[in-house]
Amino acid sequence: DAKTTQPPSMDCAEGRAANLPCNHSTISGNEYVYWYRQIHSQGPQYIIHGLKNNETNEMASLIITEDRKSSTLILPHATLRDTAVYYCIVRVVDDKIIFGKGTRLHILP
């Protein structure tokens, strides 16, 4: 079973920041938080990952709470192409990825 809980869907206005929450209250000390997204019928695309520090790359920022029980993926300036299902995953090194149901993000024009 997936170890994460995400809202099933969210809306965000184009050009605004999209903040996608994820709860992972049972995360272990050696588990990383990963985010992937899947645009309709394509393979999942890696976005970002982190252990306990906040991370930023060209696609997004990842904010992990100090107790590591939740995190937020931030897409700073959402565009219509960001419409996708976003998966938050926790996993240990070299372990399989267990996907939950994810959050379906709708970007509104």
Partner 1 sequence: KAGVTQTPRYLIKTRGQQVTLSCSPISGHRSVSWYQQTPGQGLQFLFEYFSETQRNKGNFPGRFSGRQFSNSRSEMNVSTLELGDSALYLCASSSSTSGGLQETQYFGPGTRLLVL
The answer to whether 42 and 30 are in contact (CB under 8 A) is no
41/53 with CB nearer partner 1: 41
8/109 with CB nearer partner 1: 8
* Dmax (CA) of the chain: 40
What gap in Å lies between CA 70 and CA 13, rounded to an integer? 24
Min CB(88)–partner 1 separation in Å? 13
Q: Cα separations (Å) of 16 from 4, 13, 54, 78, 90?
A: 25, 6, 20, 6, 27
41/109 with CB nearer partner 1: 41
34/84 with CB nearer partner 1: 34
Min CB(58)–partner 1 separation in Å? 15
What gap in Å lies between CA 63 and CA 9, rounded to an integer? 20
Min CB(27)–partner 1 separation in Å? 14
The residues of the shown chain that bind partner 1, judged by CB under 8 A, are: 32, 34, 36, 38, 41-46, 49, 87, 93-102
